[in-house]
Amino acid sequence: MSNSNELSGPNNSYILQDKVSFGVIPPFRLNTFHETMLESIRKDLDMQQLIDTCTKAEQLYKKTRQKPTKYALRKYKEINCTNIHPIFAKDTHSDEIFQHQFVNSISNFKPQAVSTKTFI
């Protein structure tokens, strides 16, 4: 078991002892990896069968798991997971951050109700 002081050394300053950070991995960092994995899955029949098994197991788990408490739902809504994780933020260019924020703003967009009445 490692000491928490080892994790907060000069090379790992992004890990704080008493704080947990939430965030996403920027999609542009995962694109190459994602395409490689999809291609590997398409070529391997055993992998496809394992994924089918995992999908069925996940569906069964979702049917049988307990419902979250009201307190847990409230806490979940307080956590902002839409920002880029601090580990990746320092190596991310400003245009990539802008793109990520723009995509998030589009995904949260809710159009206003428009009246369909015609006036004569």
Query: pLDDT digits over 3-12, tens only?
Result: 444 444 444 4
Domain housing 39: 23-93
Domain presence at residue 107: no
Name the nearest CA neighbour of 25 among 80, 97, 79, 85.
85
Q: What is the pTM of this model?
A: 0.49
Query: pLDDT digits over 76-115, tens only?
Result: 888 777 777 777 777 777 777 777 777 777 776 777 766 6
Domain presence at residue 14: no
Domain presence at residue 52: yes
Rounded to whole angstroms, the Cα distance separating 88 from 22 reads 11
- The domain tally of the chain equals 1
